[in-house]
Structure 1
Amino acid sequence: MSMEGRVAIVTGAAKGIGRGVARTLAREGADIVIVDINVQGAQQVADEIQASGRKTLAMKVDISCKQDVLDAVEATIQTFARIDILVNNAGIAEPETVEGLSEADWDRTININLKGPFLFSQAVISQMKKQGGGRIVNISSIAGKIGGICAGPAYAASKAGVMCLTKSFSKALAKFNILVNSVSPGQIDTDLNKLFPEDMNKIFMEAIPLGHYGQPEDIAEAVAFLCSDKARWITGEIFNVDGGEAASIS
Structure 2
Amino acid sequence: MAMSLQGKTAYVTGGSRGIGRGIALALAQAGADVAVADLDGDGAEAVAAEARTLGRRAVALRVDVTRSAEVEAMVRATVEAFGRLDITVNSAGVIGISPLETMAEAEWDRVLGVNAKGVFLCCKAALPELRRAGGGRIINVASIAGKRGSPNLAHYCASKFAVVGLTSALAKEVARDGITVNAICPGIVRTHMWDLLSQARRRGEETAEAAWQRSVQDLIPQGRPQTAEDMGALAVYLATAGNLTGQAISLDGGIT
TM-score, length of structure 1 as denominator length:
0.94
Q: Does 1:210 align with 2:222?
A: yes
Residues 223/84 of structure 1: CA separation in 2 closer, same or farther (3 Å cut): same
Render the CA deviation track for 1:118-158: whole Å, top value 9, x for unaligned.
101111111111121000011101111111246x1110000
Q: Which amino acid aligns with 2:19?
A: I
Shift of 1:215: 0.8
- Letter of the structure 2 residue corresponding to residue 37 of structure 1: L
By how many angstroms is 1:193 displaced?
Answer: 1.0
Q: Which residue, 216, 219, 223 being the options, matches 2:231?
A: 219
For each residue in 1:55-74, what CA deviation from the matched residue of structure 2 results, as whole angstroms up to 9, or x when unmatched? 01101100000000011111
Residue number in structure 2 paired with 1:235: 245
Counterparts of 1:134-145 in structure 2, within 5 Å, are 134-145=136-147
Give ranges in structure 2 of 5+ residues lacking alignment: 204-210
Letter in 2 for 1:163: V
Alignment correspondent of 2:126: 124
**Larger deviation: 49-58 or 25-34?**
49-58
User: How many residue pairs are counted as aligned between the two chains?
Assistant: 243
Q: Distance in 2 between matches of 1:74 and 1:39?
A: 17
The 2-side partners of 1:100 and 1:219 are apart by 34
State the identity as a percent.
38
TM-score normalised per structure 2:
0.92
* SS of residue matched to 1:58: strand
Match of 1:53 in 2: 55
Equivalent position SS for 1:147: coil
Q: CA deviation at 1:92?
A: 0.3
Deviations 1:8-34, CA, capped at 9 Å, x for gaps = 110000000000000000000000000
Residues 52 and 207 of structure 1, relative CA distance in 2, 3 Å threshold: same
Q: Hey, what does 2:207 align to over in structure 1?
A: none
**Alpha-carbon offset, residue 210 of structure 1:** 0.3
Residue ranges of structure 1 left out of the alignment (5+ in a row): none
Provide the rounded CA distance (Å) in 2 between the counterparts of 1:98 and 1:189. 25
Tell me the distance in 2 between the aligned counterparts of 1:105 and 1:206: 29
The whole-number CA distance in structure 1 between the counterparts of 2:157 and 2:150 is: 5
Give me the whole-angstrom Cα distance separating, in 1, the residues matched to 2:42 and 2:150.
31
Match of 2:106 among 97, 104, 107: 104
Specify the SS of the correspondent of 1:194: helix
**The one of 7, 15, 18 aligned to 2:17:** 15
Specify the SS of the correspondent of 1:113: helix
Q: Distance in 2 between matches of 1:109 and 1:205?
A: 28
Structure 1 runs, 4 residues or longer, greater than 6 Å off: none
The DSSP-based 3-state class of the residue aligned with 1:82 is coil
Residues 78-116 of structure 1: CA deviation (Å, up to 9, x unaligned) = 111100000111100101121221100100100100001
